[in-house]
Amino acid sequence: MTLTDRKQLALAKRIVVKVGSSSITGENEQKLPVLVDALAQAHQRGAEIILVTSGAIATALPLFGLNSRPVELAGSQAMAAIGQSRLMVRYQQALDKYSIIAGQVLLTAGDFEQAETRANAKAALDTLVSLKVLPIVNENDTVATSEIRFGDNDRLAALVAILVEADALILLSDIDALYTMPPELPGAQKVDYVAYGQDLSSIQVGGSSSSVGTGGAVTKIGAASTAADCSVSVLLTSADNVAAALNGEAVGTWFQGKN
């Protein structure tokens, strides 16, 4: 059933949550355990939580004295290979106090294009949640090419939410909601609600404000539209609001899914 109000998130059975690199790495590294606390609380009340996370590349950069992701694809792939295991260790350590086991799932765009691989991915995710495991999904950056990259995992999160027939998708970033223009500009107004099929052409959006991420409002609006088209409602808010979002509080921007 398509959720019609963010208040229903407090009772939703299956929720996909996506968090961007800049929200859990670098100067915001300490926010990862806070994110996990909120996810664990929802998990413990019986919600099936699937986390889509960025951050593998950003986790590796400081090890090599880098401030931004490599321009060359091979360099980014190498950083992903190094950072992915370290990122998973951070998540598992934060989950240990709740006795919750994390399960790593790495996907590429190609996994959604073939019926067999799509079915296999769904079966794996369904099995993990049935075991009370918290699946942690990331793009398989080590083998992904520039032509099939998801865009800071926003589109990946939408595809995962559709695949697992989630009740809702929560997209977390550094901004608390969608605004009529970049929020730092004078006159920017918060958008509280987006009806299904609503024309958003008047919204002035920018790209990622982070040197480690590749997303931004453009990819988030696109991901929200993709999910909404398949009857998955979406909440866009900041990582700081994750607990409030999961509790159904009045935060962020609600994108109504198709009924």
Residue pointed to by tokens 């009740």: 167
26 burial level (CB within 10 Å; 0-12, 13-18, 19+)? middle
Q: How far apart are CA 235 and CA 177, in angstroms?
A: 9
Q: Does 67 show up as a binding residue in the annotation?
A: no
Residue pointed to by tokens 């009857």: 231
Closest CA relative to residue 235, chosen from 183, 168, 138: 168
Contact in structure between 228 and 234 (CB atoms under 8 Å):
yes
Q: Does 153 show up as a binding residue in the annotation?
A: yes
Q: How far apart are CA 13 and CA 248, in angstroms?
A: 13
Q: In the chain, what is the straight-line distance between the N-terminal and C-terminal CA atoms, in Å?
A: 8
Interhelix angle 115-130/154-163, nearest 10 degrees: 80
The DSSP-derived string for 2-61 is: ---SGGGGGG-SEEEEEE-HHHHSGGGTTHHHHHHHHHHHHHHTT-EEEEEE--HHHHHG
Contact in structure between 170 and 233 (CB atoms under 8 Å):
no
Q: Does 174 show up as a binding residue in the annotation?
A: yes
Residues belonging to the binding site are 18, 54, 141, 153, 173-174
Residues belonging to the binding site for substrate are 54, 141, 153
Residues belonging to the binding site for ATP are 18, 173-174
